[in-house]
Structure 1
């Protein structure tokens, strides 16, 4: 074998080794990354502050990933695209104030519930609306893709629904008088009322429900790992600290 042949042979061997080793290395790196989607427009659950993603769900997901020995890679997407995107394998999981419902559970799996919520009604402080029954005949704004849409359709058929893309748009419409009320998740409603004078949340909640992290039906192992991580951070006090940070109360 000539010197040139030896060099070419060594080069071919190196290329072959790279082609064999590189995929395994990439896979090992990918195994340490958890791709998670959210719609960061729902304070205090998830929102952006000075260009940084933050909120209860964000802190919770980062803590879960740490307990699992992984890092989170975030994908921002409109709420209505969370479940379809998850099913289409665009990401591994979705956390965004998602209620565990029978309809959603038919197409995706959920972790154990990680926080109690429900639907609440936000109105202006001087609104004549005092109870949910007063919503009939009024313009009520909701975010597309959320449970609020079907809930109002099924339980308050006389309501004039005003459907918008973002949570903030609902609040804006109530503020300028283009909607009489907004129906949204309890944490977001109370957070907005606390931060903006001139609004209040009705005492009577529309529903009492629980939030869960959505994963694909074929990702039972990932779901179980997240459940184990959730139990771990509850046991070591991390979960309670996150609840205290965002809601000013200790976890039960």
Structure 2
């Protein structure tokens, strides 16, 4: 009986030790999800993830002494994935909103953005956001654009698509009149194609944040501290200039 009990204690100790080691290893990994279809924030180039958000997270993880384990997932699955504990952080040009803050935590804002309207240069019917009424407008499922148009532009004929590139392509081929999306991606697409333009008047002015599981407040604090450090040492400014040009702030 004594031997059996001793074996039980030793087995329990071994399990606890293994759990401690696994936990220690986990603390070296930062599990981050993104939808890499939103240049210049995050996208795939030559088979590799890249973009401002990607570089920013990697720089922050390095500051934290951690390795990033990336998960690629559609934008609409980012918040549900966090809630389901599939990963710990979601970084994908996510606007900080009151609705999202009910189910996840956010770091301090790391970049300013907002919703804008993208149209073809040849489109003379849409000069201001008010001209969207009655028009076909493409939006990506799961983004703020959907609810924003539903609430503020109920007369718009929304065309909801799964992928960011599909949203832009519909404008390009004339299947829709405009797209409503985040400012960085819209500006990048207009610059790349040459035959698109972003309306001067934005729909909203908002800020991007990194979404974190609510049961990990310490991680949110660590991410904020890392962001402060890379801002202080000049890394953040270098990334801004790399992805948004020499005048970016």
> TM-score range with shorter-chain normalisation?
over 0.9
Contact kept, 8 Å, 1:36 with 1:72, in 2: the verdict is yes
Gaps of 5+ in 2: 1-9
1:21 CA displacement = 3.9
Larger radius of gyration: 1
Q: Kindly provide the CA deviation profile for residues 133-180 of structure 1, in whole angstroms up to 9, marking residues without a partner as x.
A: 110000000000000000001111110000000110011101111100
Aligned residues: 242
Deviation at 1:106, TM superposition (A): 1.1
Which residue does 1:114 correspond to in 2? Answer: 110
Correspondence 1:101 to 2:94: no
CA gap 1:245/1:66 in 2 versus in 1, 3 angstroms: same
Query: Taking structure 2 as the reference length, what is the TM-score of the superposition?
Result: 0.93
Shift of 1:217: 1.6
Q: Any idea what the Cα deviations from partners look like across 1:172-213, whole Å, max 9, x if unmatched?
A: 101111100000000000000011121111111100000000
Q: Which residue of 2 aligns with 1:151?
A: 148
Hey, what's the Cα distance between the residues in 2 that align with 1:44 and 1:143?
17
How large is the RMSD of aligned CA atoms in angstroms? 1.8
Answer yes or no: is 1:74 the counterpart of 2:70: yes
How much does 1:25 deviate? 2.4
Is 1:54 matched with 2:50? yes
For residue 170 of structure 2, the aligned residue among 145, 170, 173 is 173
Q: How does 1:200-219 map to 2 (within 5 A)?
A: 200-219=197-216
Q: Assess, with a 3 A threshold, how the Cα gap between structure 1 residues 215 and 20 changes in structure 2: closer, same or farther.
A: closer
Ranges in structure 1 where 5+ consecutive residues have no aligned partner: 1-13
Match 1:138 to one of 135, 138, 155: 135
Structure 1 counterpart SS, 2:71 = strand
Conservation of the 8 A alpha-carbon contact between 1:93 and 1:213: yes
| Residue 217 of structure 2 is aligned to residue 220 of structure 1 | yes
Encode CA deviations 1:98-136: one digit per residue, 9 max, x unaligned.
000111111111000000000011101100211101100
- How far off its partner does 1:251 sit? 5.5
Maintained 8 Å contact 1:34/1:92 = yes
Task: For residue 22 of structure 1, give the secondary structure of its aligned residue in structure 2.
Answer: helix
**Normalised by the size of structure 1, how large is the TM-score?**
0.92
